[in-house]
């Protein structure tokens, strides 16, 4: 993969707090225009990773480049290309949705601030509530506004730290669709999550972070291939054919529509790898 097609590159990254290793020799690459999910339990090091990538925290070792710039020596250049949305919505409840967006645009010295605010309000389905104070917004609306504010200025890379925290199932699914829409428009999305179904639904590539180390990385299909196969699933044209299949498949020439491998779920992979790590630690 050429450097031009890489948004984030991390090599031998290390970070410790008071002699406790939080990130241990971490390596990964995020292709431009993709959704990359960093999956891990609480305390795995996900938020520390986000802080380093977004220049909010300095690493102890290793090299990190974001949009082609070193996060340590070229932090200003990195910040020009990124935006960050934390675990909880950072919006001004006294202002309206429109005013929140316009304020961010003015702080970033953007041109055509009002027009860009209108475009984002429309994209995030907030136009009808645009002139209401944010204090009247639901949790899902505040979250959408928070991400909209992050997109003022069209950042090339968007960091989302547990973006669906506190959302109900309906708003969570709506947020997933929104994130997919952003990626289709060319924005590189780097998100952290502890929700397995979120990573499986959204991500082009997934990395499992456990106690500061990346255990595996790849597409969800790649990760599922790690565990032994679970047999195959046969799909028949109708229920009658399925009932006869066990005894008469060959004798009666029953046609099978398709054969699908029954792979483990991402949850199976995650829990198996975590359990294996626990056993390794016990044997050390």
| Cβ–Cβ < 8 Å for 49, 26 | yes
| Cβ–Cβ < 8 Å for 66, 77 | no
Beta-bridge mates of residue 70: 65
Helix, coil or strand: residue 4: helix
180 phi and psi, to 5 degrees? -60, -40
Give the mean pLDDT per block of 10 residues along the chain (284 residues): 82 93 95 93 88 96 96 95 81 94 92 92 92 93 89 90 82 86 92 86 92 89 69 65 67 62 65 64 39
Residues in contact with 29: Cβ distance below 8 Å, sequence separation at least 6, in sequence order: 1, 6, 8, 9, 10
Give dist(CA 143, CA 100) in Å, integer.
Answer: 13
| Cβ–Cβ < 8 Å for 95, 103 | yes
Confidence at residue 195, expressed as pLDDT on a 0 to 100 scale: 82
Residue by residue, DSSP assigns 121-153 as HHHTT-GGGTTSBGGG--HHHHHHHHHHHHTTT
Q: CATH number for the 3-227 domain, one of 3.40.50.300, 3.30.70.20, 1.10.10.60, 3.90.1150.200?
A: 3.40.50.300
Where do the domains of the chain lie? Answer: 3-227, 232-261
The two tokens of residue 249 are 């498949």
pTM metric for this prediction: 0.77
Residue by residue, DSSP assigns 174-241 as HHHHHHHHHHHTT-EEEEEES-HHHHHHH-SEEEEEETTEEEEEE-HHHHHTTSPP--EEEE-SSHHH
Give residue-wise pLDDT tens across range 233-249: 566 677 777 676 666 66
Instruction: Tell me which residue has tokens 């136009």.
Output: 127
**Short-list 233, 234, 226, 232, CA closest to 265:** 226
């Amino acid at each position: 993969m050429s450097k031009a097609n890489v948004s984030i590159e991390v090599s031998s990254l290390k970070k410790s707090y008071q002699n406790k290793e939080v990130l241990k020799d971490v390596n990964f690459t995020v292709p431009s225009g993709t959704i990359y999910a960093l999956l891990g339990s609480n305390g795995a090091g996900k938020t520390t990773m986000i802080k380093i990538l977004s220049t909010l925290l300095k690493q102890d070792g290793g090299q990190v480049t974001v949009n082609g710039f070193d996060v340590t020596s070229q932090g200003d250049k990195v910040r020009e290309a990124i935006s960050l949305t934390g675990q909880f919505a950072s919006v001004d409840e006294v202002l309206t949705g429109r005013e929140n967006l316009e304020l961010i645009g003015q702080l970033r010295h953007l041109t055509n601030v009002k027009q860009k605010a209108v475009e984002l309000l429309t994209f995030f389905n907030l136009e009808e509530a645009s002139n209401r104070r944010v204090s009247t917004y639901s949790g899902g609306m505040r979250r959408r506004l928070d991400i909209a504010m992050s997109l003022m200025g069209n950042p090339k890379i968007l960091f989302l730290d547990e973006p669906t925290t506190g959302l109900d199932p309906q708003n969570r699914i709506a947020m997933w669709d929104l994130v997919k829409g952003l990626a289709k428009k060319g924005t590189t999305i780097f998100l952290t999550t502890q929700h397995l179904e979120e990573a499986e639904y959204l991500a082009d590539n997934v990395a499992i972070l456990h106690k500061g180390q990346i255990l595996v990385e790849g597409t969800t299909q790649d990760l599922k291939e790690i565990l032994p196969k679970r047999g195959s699933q046969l799909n028949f044209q109708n229920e009658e054919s399925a009932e006869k299949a066990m005894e008469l498949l060959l004798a009666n020439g029953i046609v099978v529509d398709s054969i699908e491998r029954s792979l483990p779920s991402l949850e199976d992979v995650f829990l198996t790898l975590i359990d294996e790590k626990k056993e390794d630690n016990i044997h050390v």
